[in-house]
């Protein structure tokens, strides 16, 4: 399949230099790069937060609507600087 891509001149110049040195083509380098990126992204699993809730009914009344900073400050209150 043919397609057109826009890449910076400096990157194309580097790619041509590498292709020449390695006796290959810029097309082959682009294909290799795309294969690496797609394989890497397939392997990377999205982060999934596991459920670790405990018995109870959520936040204490004083914390409802609090920011994360306020919750953190309350959790570490009296523990350090």
Look up the pTM and report it.
Answer: 0.53
66 contacts: CB under 8 Å, gap ≥ 6: 59, 74
Predicted confidence at residue 9, as pLDDT, reads 96
Residue 81: the pLDDT is: 55
pLDDT tens digits in sequence order for the chain, 81 residues long:
899 999 999 999 999 999 999 999 999 999 999 999 999 888 878 888 888 777 777 777 788 888 989 988 888 888 865
Whole-number pLDDT of residue 27: 95
The pLDDT of residue 74 is: 87
Q: Collect all residues with Cβ–Cβ distance below 8 Å to 18 and sequence separation of at least 6.
A: 29
Q: List the Cα angle 65/70/74 in 5-degree steps.
A: 115
């Amino acid at each position: 399949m043919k397609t057109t891509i826009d890449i910076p001149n400096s990157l194309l110049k580097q790619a041509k230099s590498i292709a020449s040195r390695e006796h290959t083509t810029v097309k082959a380098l682009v294909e290799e790069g795309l294969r690496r990126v797609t394989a890497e992204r397939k392997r990377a699993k999205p982060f999934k937060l596991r459920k670790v809730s405990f018995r109870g009914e959520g936040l204490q009344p004083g914390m409802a609507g609090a920011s994360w900073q306020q919750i953190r400050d309350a959790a570490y209150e009296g523990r350090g600087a």
